[in-house]
Every structure is written in C-alpha cells, then in structure tokens.
Amino acid sequence: MNKDASKTDLSLFVASFRRWRYKLTYANNKCLFSYILLAVSLIRDAFEGKIQYLQIMDELGNVDSGLFPAELTDDKLVEMLKLMLLTRNADQKAVSLQRQGRSATYAPSLGEEAVNIGTAAAMRKNDIFVPAFRQHGVYFARGLPLHLFYMYWMGFEEGNMIPPEVRGFPMSVPVGTQMPHSVGMAFAQKYKKTGNAVIAYVGDGGTSEGDFYEAINFAGVWRAPLVIIIQNNQWAISIPRSKQTAAETLAQKALAAGIPGMQVDGNDAVAVYKATAEALKNAANGPTVIECITYRAGMHTTSDDPNKYRNAAEVEEWAKKDPILRMKLYLTKKGLWSDQIEAQAVEEQKKLIDAEVEIAEGFKPDPKSMFQNLYSFVPETLDYELKDSEANNFWQGE
C-alpha cells in the first residue's frame, strides 16, 4: 500500500466525515428549532373573559343620564320606592311578631330591597320567579297577599301555596336546592315555546353549592331562558364572602358554564332593573347571571346574632349605601318625593300590614292537611292514622 495514498485517503475521509457531521448537526438543530417554534405556536390563550360592573345611581342619588332606562317613568320610580318601603315595613313587622312569640323564626331582608324590587319591576307579566327565602319584596311586587306571607312565617304551609297569578314558586329554605328546579322550569318554557323567562334567586352562600353549578351548566348547554340573580349580601350566616371562594367575583362562575355574567350595584334599584330587563329581553338566546352587590343589614334569621361575628364599623359603612335612602334622595331632587308623601305612604302601608296580620292570626288550619299533602295517594298506614285522628278529634278536645 502506498503510504502517501493512504494518508490522502484518510484525510479525505476525515474531511468528508466532518462535513457530514456538520450537516447532520445543522439539520438536527434546524429540526429542534422548528419543533420549538411549533410548540410556541401551540401555547395561546384558550379563553378570555371579563366581568363588567354597572351602577347608575350612586349613594347620593346622582344618576348617569346616559345609562338611565328611558322606560322608567317618574310614576314607575315612585311606585318602586313605595314597594321598597312596603318591603321594609312588612319586614320590620315580621321581626316584631317573632320577638313577641307570635311568629316562628324569620329571615329579614333589611338592606336588600333594591334587588327584590329592581328585578320584580323588570319582569314581564308571564315571567316566572323561583325564590330562595329572602325575596319578600318580589312576592309583594307580584301581588302576593300579605296575610299569606305572614301565615308562612307563622308556620302554616298554606301560606306557601302561591296563587297562580303571582307566577312564583314557594319559598325554598334549603340552600341552593331551588336552582335545578329553576333551570327545569326555564327549559319547559323553551320547549313549549311560551316566550316566557324564569328568574332564579340565590345567595352568595348558595353559589358554593353543587346545585348551583349543576344548574348553570345545564342552563348553558340547553340555552335556557333563565336569569340567575346572585343576591350577594356578603354573608352566608356567619361566613363572610372572602372565606367562601377565591374567585374575584361570583359572576365569573358563569363564564365556566358558557354563560355571560355581570356585576351590578345591588343597592341601586335602577341599575338592577336595567340589567334584569336586558337579560330578560335576551333570554330567548340563553341564560344570564347577574351578581347584585348588596348587604345583609340585619341578622341572617331571628335566631342569629350578627354582633358575634361582624363589627359595627362595617355595618355603618354599608348603611351609607342604603338602597331606600338613595332612591329618596334622587326623587326628592326631582320634586317627586317629600316627607309628607312618605309619611302618608307609610301610614297606609302600616294599616294594610296590621289588617293582613289579623287575617293571618285568625287562620285555622285543617288538621287533615298534614295527611293530604305528603303523597299523591294516602298509604294504608297513613290512612289508619288519619281515621284514628278524626275519631279522636285530632286530640283537640271538644
């Protein structure tokens, strides 16, 4: 073998290998670079959402005229204020009756009147509402006789038999359980093509329940004509809003179900009305969640003492945002309200309330009702108990 030739061949081989290794390395780097670019291109925003907040009337009764609903006439605004006053006066009477031992445990609505009346004022004649247990003003605005309201809180289920013309479900005390019912009713309206919508009410505590999530999920899937009002009064009994969820808003929970959500100043009856009216108009296209920011000025129920878990400074700060106060300020500036008008309205309302309480206290329930309203038929064992009770005059004596 020629040594010089061998050296030449070896040199050519080494040089060729170096060129091949460079090309291979370049090619691999190029593939790696392309892969990185591909991976980067796959990292993108999968979802983007936001929650808007609406206020039209501030704490001093000043309004944003550009946002003010044109259909809210002076007469309508005065009517809304009178209904808010009726709600508060009837509420105070119910607390008084409980304290006197003339009624059972009661859940006040003090400070939350704008949510009740603002939403009720936006409802159309045939819309249906599904309440929790603090929507007293909604019932009053929809025409529920006050004696039925007092009968219910005195412990008579007959008071919870809502007249058909009121278009409302019975009160629901177990937290959140009304929500699946509301979406079922809304789906029924869609299925039957009635054109009606359903408004469901739930507290901030209720949004932590599974029933709430199941309801908004089905509402979103079915595009049900449902408006969900979250009555965020900052407290679920003694649990503050901050300890219920890390979510910045409660309204944003709707976004996970594919539902639009928004926040409203819940002590501004005009803003509550506007948001609800627009949601009802859009209900044919699907549901909406509205979080109304308000405050439970009183106790959770009359068996609760809020002084044990919240401070007076917080209550005083929210008192400045009182929903009735700001509405009175606004209407007074417009020359539509005065102390004299208020005094006359309150006097008339208290007379009505006293008369309705008298009717409620005069109610004598039929003992048979405890047997008749449990089942669609009377089982044999229950029938035996019923006959035995009747034979003994329900142990009421002569």
Is 309 an annotated catalytic residue?
yes
Is 296 an annotated catalytic residue?
yes
Distance of CA 332 to the CA centre of its chain: 30
Task: Tokens for 128, please give them.
Answer: 């249906």
Select which of 88, 147, 296, 326 is catalytic: 296
**Which run of H or of E encompasses 29?**
helix 3-42
HEC readout, 138-207:
HHHHCCCCHHHHHHHHCCCHHHHCCCHHHCECCCCCCCCCHHHHHHHHHHHHHHHCCCCCEEEEEECHHH
Strands 226-232 and 198-203: parallel
Q: Which of 143, 146, 138 is nearest to 122 (CA)?
A: 138
Burial 230-241 (b: 16+ CB within 10 A, else e): bbbbebbeeeeb
Alpha-carbon distance values, 245 to 24, 183, 204, 252, 299 (Å): 55, 23, 10, 12, 22
d(CA 382, CA 394): 14
Grouping H, G, I as helix, E, B as strand and the rest as coil, residue 130 is: strand
Q: Which of 169, 109, 73, 138 is nearest to 276 (CA)?
A: 138
Distance of CA 185 to the CA centre of its chain: 16
Which 8-state DSSP code applies to residue 283?
G
Is 147 an annotated catalytic residue?
no
CB-count burial class (<10 Å; 0-12, 13-18, 19+) for 364: exposed
Select which of 139, 300, 326, 330 is catalytic: 300
Select which of 309, 310, 326, 384 is catalytic: 309
Residues annotated catalytic, as ranges:
296, 300, 309
